[in-house]
């Protein structure tokens, strides 16, 4: 395995771990603030959009550069 392949693999693994950690933080925030069902939904939706935009940007940049995801 070449260095570029290892870096690409670790980037993808790192992004998945990062996304999971962000969702854990949102869940913990909702739990500690007693947000209820609707409040938890709003937190996940609003804060999850920021994460989704970050991930979509990564995919779009890869596609524009002509690489494979």
Element (H or E) spanning 22, and its range?
helix 3-32
Mean pLDDT confidence for 45-66: 86
Question: In the predicted model, is pLDDT for residue 68 greater than 80?
Answer: no
More reliable by pLDDT, 2 or 66: 2
Which of 16, 12, 20 is CA-nearest to residue 69? Answer: 12
| Range 15-35 average pLDDT | 91
pLDDT band at 13 (very low <50, low <70, confident <90, very high): very high
Q: What is the pTM of this model?
A: 0.68
For residue 35, the 8-state DSSP code is: -
Domain ranges of the chain: 3-65
Q: pLDDT at residue 46 above 80?
A: yes
């Amino acid at each position: 395995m070449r260095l570029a392949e290892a870096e690409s693999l670790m980037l993808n693994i790192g992004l998945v771990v990062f996304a999971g950690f962000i969702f854990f933080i949102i869940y913990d925030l909702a739990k500690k603030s007693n947000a209820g069902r609707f409040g938890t939904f709003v937190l996940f939706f609003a804060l999850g959009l920021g994460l989704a935009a970050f991930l979509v940007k990564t995919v779009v940049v890869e596609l524009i550069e002509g690489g494979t995801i």
